[in-house]
A = this chain, B = another copy of it.
Amino acid sequence: MNYDAVVIGSGVGGYSTAISLSNRERSVAIIEEHLVGGECVNYGCVPTKAFYHFSEALRILKKINSEAYWNWKDLVKWVNELVSDTRSNLIHLLEKKGVEIIHGRALLKDHKHIRIGDFEVSTNAVVLATGTDPKSLKNLVFDNKQVLSNRDVLKLEEKPSSILIVGGGVIGIEFANIFSNLGINIKIVEALDHILPFIDQDVALSIKKYMVEKGVEIYEKTYVENVSKIGDELSVKLSNGESFKVDHVFVAVGREPKTRGIGLENTGVELDNAGFIKVGDGYETSAKDIYAVGDVTGPPLLAHKAIIEGILASKSIVGIKVGKLDSHLIPQTIFSGLEVAFIGYTEKELIEKKIGFKKYKLPIYYLSAVRIKDSKYSFVKILVNEHDPNVIHGVQIVSPNASEVISSFIPILMGRIALSEAATTPYPHLTVSETVREIAEFVLGESIHVVIKK
């Protein structure tokens, strides 16, 4: 059997490439060794956001001291059904789009031939979309029962009473929020200086205050020294000398690219220092006719990056000249109740790049949409070029609904909407999107709702 293209991995990056090729009348197969849909559909975005949605409702109820009675099994069942529906719909979509799904593990023999068990296919182009696996630690190896990765949460049969989360990155913080909303006792240890170490410290600090206020204990500059099983519990010793018992340890210390055991050594595909696959324009790897998209090409590990990469790679495969997605314009989001969303460069990055900038930071608790939905720690920050006020280098939002609102800043970062226009654009009241107008007014020194000290 010969295809125009074979995609290895059916996660978001893989299926987007496959469907996009099929839309362009190419014959495509997709090889999947586990569950169709990959990490996002089965273990990542979909179940996480379902848990998140429910858990936030519980949090809101607490505002007026109401109480909710709910059942862990019912919650997990609802989430599992959402996941399996999403997966079935995706399989159905792939079939309708004429993409063949081959179940099994792919082994590249060369850049044209792929083995799947006893079976071999040939292809004009290969797309690597194998994604990543959760990293474990030497003293914390996943056992799927007590030492958990994000993939194990849907399998928990009972509501835990306590969880230690190792790693204060995006996954760690999102689950800390969800678990804490669900009434589980949560501690986080982060080895680096502060949680969310890749972002500016003021953002991390807002989230830290928010988490601490809801009862999450956070240990920074701390690591797990030792974990031992005592019956159904785990006894944990931290580097700061503290010890305690927990039901589970949830390890969220990062992801590693899935590049082993698929025959890359037979192809000349090069990896970068962190082990991710190197790609150039049009998502071509260093090997002829082999492309790569999605998480396996390196950070940021985001489904929306993977979708667009899939579309661009498919264009490239059919001979349309395309570049790469401008990483500067990829919004990143943390679904943490008090959400974080950002786009462009952080202060840290601008300082490293020696780009001069002016920082405008506006606490936005005064906005009714923020006040009703939460948190005194909300703010928006905009980083404007020092010499040219029309060049915006970065925007960071810490606020409920930040994940939706950041999209309204994309045209501002692209330079398509000037701040002077945004200041008189009627973003709807009462929404968090009004933040766009508010920060624009603030930068221009024309705030209605804020007293600007002169």
Contacts and interface: CB of A to CB of B under 8 A. Distances in A.
A306 to B, nearest CB: 8
A84 to B, nearest CB: 12
Interface in A332-361: 332-333, 341
A198 interface: no
Contact of A93 (B310, B406, B451): B451
Contact of A89 (B65, B341, B366): B366
A201 interface: no
Given A53-B60, A54-B64, A371-B82, A425 B404 contact: no
A20 interface: yes
A378 to B, nearest CB: 15
B53 A61 contact: no
A383 B251 CA distance: 48
B60 A70 contact: no
A308 B425 contact: yes
Contacts of A58: 57, 61
Given A66-B69, A93-B449, A446-B20, A304 B428 contact: yes
Interface string A369-385: 10111000000000000
Interface string A35-55: 000001000011001100110
Interface residues of A, number: 91
A316 interface: no
Interface stretch (A113-121, A125-133, A429-437): A429-437
A423 B20 CA distance: 12
Pairs of residues from A and B, 6 with the lowest C-beta to C-beta distance, nearest first: A66-B70, A303-B429, A57-B60, A407-B433, A57-B57, A304-B426
Interface of A: 12, 15-16, 19-20, 23, 40, 45-46, 49-50, 53-54, 56-58, 60-61, 63-71, 74-75, 77-78, 82, 85-86, 89, 93, 96-97, 302-305, 307-308, 310-312, 325, 329-333, 341, 366, 368-369, 371-373, 401, 403-408, 410-411, 414, 416-417, 423-434, 436-437, 446-449, 451
